[in-house]
Each structure stands twice: as structure tokens, then as C-alpha cells.
Chain A
Amino acid sequence: MLDSLIQGILLGGYYSVLAAGLSLMFGVVRFINLAHGDMAVLGALGSLWLVQSAGVTVPLAIVLTLLGMAALGWLMQRFIFERALAGGFLIPILVTIGLGAALQNGMFAAFGSDTKSLGAHIGNLSWSSWELPGGIFVGQLPVYMFATAVLVLGALHLLLTRTAFGRAVRATSTDAEAASLCGVDPRKVHRWAAAIAVALAGLAGIFLAMRAQVTPFSGPMMLIFAFEAVVIGGIGSLRGTLIGGIVLGVVQSLGALISPQISILAGHLVFLAVLGWRLMQTTAADRGGWRTALAAVLNKPDLARRKV
């Protein structure tokens, strides 16, 4: 039980990184990227290609992949998503479904359908573990991944709350026109947000490639997990996304305790339960983010106030 709980929390780090990009894209750019999972797979296969075929070391491959994915996100926002957004709410959905399908089959053509893993290239890290008191073993790789996830999301949170860029991002996500009246270029903010979002997808892909196998068609499942973590944690809040990822990881891990076959299903059920609860709170959530929604539910406006 405790073992499953710990493994679930560690798994949650991976889910929250996967979800953070989707959440950022939706929260800031108001754009639902249905190709998010496929972009994560692109990051995974890209880093694998760098290691296996280009002979690059794993750390360098990670850095190159993240930079490449960030550039890809910026360019896609600039040349595809901006135009799609101008076309109404249906166009972005169609565009990203098409983009996802093209990515899946493009990766199939480029890399083949063999399942691949970075696990073979990171030495004994893929199986090393620490023994905790009580005979519980935690893998070193999951611990490092969880720590990375917390660090990355924490840094992103600081970036959004403490810097001029972060203020511009939050202003744009609230009211892009009002932000432009303050001298902020919303399109520029959207492009950088997309760069960060796609880089996060790439990081999640690298995590997946290290801890498991990946095929060109793994994307849609990753997209579903990302959506579930976002909905459980609440859109537009990185802390919520981290919690959502951890809840999803823990539920899947505890579900596997009952039967390995219901692990994924348990995650889906919790997602549906939270979704139902959230639908009932829509009016509250309309007042701006989960913190304000919670404050509105509890009828405590003080909670909604933050210190500078």
C-alpha cells in the first residue's frame, strides 16, 4: 500500500510535466492542442534518434531535444496555430487532429514501428534503486524524474508569478486586448508560451523514453493522461497540474494493487468523478482559476487575495 503510494507519487511527476504543457497552452493561448501527446512522442523519438543514430550523449541529446521542441512550438504558433485560432473554435481542433495524425505517420515513416527505449543508454540508472526503511525500494530514475518535474514546474511557477514576462503572460491569458493596451504584444507572448509548452511535451517524451518503451503511436494515450491530469488539477494553475499529475499517478498505482487490469481504468474513473464535480462548480470557476473558485465555494474572499 505505502509502496504503491510512493510509486504513484513518483509516476505523478511524469504526468504533471506532460500535463503542464497542455495546461499552459490552453490557459494562455486558449488553444487546445490535440497533438500534444504526439509532440511528446516526437520529443522521445527525436532524443532516441540523437542518441542511437547521431551518437550524441544522453545529456546533450536532452538539451538539444528541448531546444528543438521549443523552436518547433514557437514556429507552429507563428505559422499554424495563430491562423487556426483566427478561424473560430472548430479550426484549432481539426488542425491539431490532422497535425497529430501527420506526426504519427510521419514518425512511423521516419523511425519505423519498433518499440524503442532510452533505458539501454542510461547505464544502470534504469534499474538502480534505493531501499527505504520498511523494505520499500524506490527506483533512482523515478526519483530523479520526480525531482526534475518539481524543479521545472516550480521554476515555471516562479517565472509566471515573479517576472515581467510572467506578468505579461498572465495578463495576456486574462484579456489579450487589455494586455496590448499595456504595451504587451499578445502574439509574442503566445509564441513564447507555445515554445515552453512544446518543450514541456518534449521533456515528458524523454521521461517516457527513459522509463518505458515508446512507439510512434503512443501519443493519443499520452494526450488522454495529460487531459486527465489537467482536469483533476484545474486549468491554468501549475500547482494544480502537479497535484493533478500526482493524483492520477497514485490512483493508477493503487488501482493496480487491486488488479493490474484496472490500473488505467481507475485513473479514468477518478477523472470522470472530478470532471462531474467541476461541472457543478462551473459558475464558481468562471470567476477565475481554482483558487478563486475555491474561495467562492468556501465564501471566503480573503483566500482569493495574494500578498505582493
Chain B
Amino acid sequence: MTAALTLTDLVGRHGQLQAIKGLSLTIAANEVLAVIGANGAGKTTLMRMIAGLHPVAEGGILLHGSPVTKMPAHERVKAGIALSPEGRRLFGDMTVAENLMIAAENGRKGDWTLATVCDAFPQLTPLLGRLAGGLSGGQRQAVAIGRALIANPSVILLDEVSLGLSPAAVEGLYSSLAGLKGKVTLIVVEQDLTRAMGFASRLICIAEGVLELDGTPATLTRQQITDAYFGIHKAEEPSHA
């Protein structure tokens, strides 16, 4: 079975700064991957590069074996990649239903429709007629995830899922997200380590644009993750200390 997503020596720049420094990663189909890392580690840049919003300076991206490196973002949606971006980026002067319809009309055809998305995220149903600009943080995040889902992606990227949300809202979102496991490849950027370890089947940690750690929640220790998070290296790599 081909991998859902293959990143090869990916380099992404912000001007002179290398935000992603030759990152390689293979993600299996229907895997649930949590991405953790400090602020400025390059998580969002990586998500934006996979979605086609940030140019790939070097390296390549394969989606189910076919190259998408040069594809603009709207074509990647049609190829099966959907990103729920940092900051949600809803269309504030449009209703929730319209926000979802845009992605449904321009994305791929499949099982996810307005009705099935509302089944998976019941909190959306009473909001459909409301303007997206007037929603709470948790509601906005649910709409943003619904908007990514309704494009019927095979790979779904969720940037900063729980950032700025109340614990209750986070709990509600993750219990809805649990229903997606096994149906799509799920890549989640999550600041909450406990949450990430409890939800994902695989966990990677990025520090300063480099893949520091890659493993499963069962095999990784908290100490390993904390070291990777802060870019602390053991004696075998003194040059970085």
C-alpha cells in the first residue's frame, strides 16, 4: 500500500530564514499523526507547505504516490488534501452553511455532505444560519474542521486544534474527531502533549525546522519528548549542545 503522504528533504523558507530544513517523513494511509513543537519550530509552515500555501524551496511532496509539489492550493484540495488553518480563517460575513457549502461545491465528491458533517459535529446544526464572524472560538474551530472535512479529503491537516479554546470545547472537538479515525489520514498540530499522546497513533516533534523525534505514544517517554521539544540533545551529539 502506498503511503498517503511522502515528504522528501523538504525545505521551506521565509525570506533568508529556513523554517523547514530538509524534512523527510512518510505517513501511512489512515494514520493519526500528532505534530508537536515549540512556537516557531516550523509546524505551521510545514502544514502550509503540504496544503500548497507556502512554496516548497527544495524537496518534494507525494500524495498517494503522485507528486503535488508544484500544485497550487486549490488543486491540492481537489487531489485530496484539506487544511483547517491556524486562526480558523472563516468567511466572517457569510453564514456557517455558506462557509461549508463553498468547500463542498469546490472540493471533491464523497460521503461528506452538509448532513453528514452535521451528524459528526452536532454542535454545527443550530449554527447553520448564523454569520461565522459572530461565533465563539470553539464554534469557529468546529466550522473550520467541518469545512475541511466537507471537501472529502483523503488527508486532513488540522493546525492548532485546541489553541484558544476552553477545555470543554476541546473535549467536544476531540470526541468528534475520534469518529474520523480510520476513515482519513489525520495530521493534527497540538500543543497539549497529553492530548496529543492520547489521541494519535504516531507522534512527531519538530524543533527549528528539523524532525527531532518520531515514534508512537506507547514507546516514547515524556522525557524524550520534552528534550526533543526544547531541542536538547544527549552526549552523542555534542555539537548541538
Contact = CB atoms under 8 A, between A and B. Distances in A.
A289 B131 CA distance: 13
A181 B105 contact: no
Contacts of B105: 164, 167-168, 183
B129 to A, nearest CB: 5
Interface string A149-170: 0000000000000001001101
A278 to B, nearest CB: 18
B74 A177 contact: no
A169 B53 CA distance: 19
B231 interface: no
Interface in B80-114: 82-83, 85, 89-95, 97-98, 101-103, 105-107
A301 B134 contact: yes
Nearest to A186: B74
B131 A171 contact: no
B72 interface: yes
Interface in B146-197: 147-148, 151
Contact of A184 (B52, B83, B106, B129): B106
Interface centre among A175, A179, A180 (most CB of B within 10 A): A180
A interface secondary structure, majority:
helix
A185 B73 CA distance: 8
Contact of B89 (A164, A175, A288): A175
B134 A184 contact: no
Given A177-B53, A185-B72, A171 B147 contact: no
Given A305-B129, A308-B97, A174 B91 contact: yes
B78 interface: yes
A183 B95 contact: no
Interface centre among A164, A182, A305, A308 (most CB of B within 10 A): A182
Contact of B94 (A171, A180, A183, A185): A171
Nearest to A178: B89
27 contacts: A164-B102, A167-B102, A167-B105, A168-B105, A168-B106, A170-B98, A171-B102, A175-B89, A177-B73, A177-B85, A178-B91, A179-B102, A181-B53, A181-B74, A181-B148, A182-B102, A182-B103, A182-B147, A183-B77, A185-B74, A186-B74, A287-B133, A301-B134, A304-B134, A306-B95, A306-B129, A308-B128
Instruction: Report, nearest first, the 6 A-B pairs whose CB atoms are least far apart.
Output: A183-B106, A183-B77, A178-B89, A182-B103, A180-B73, A164-B105
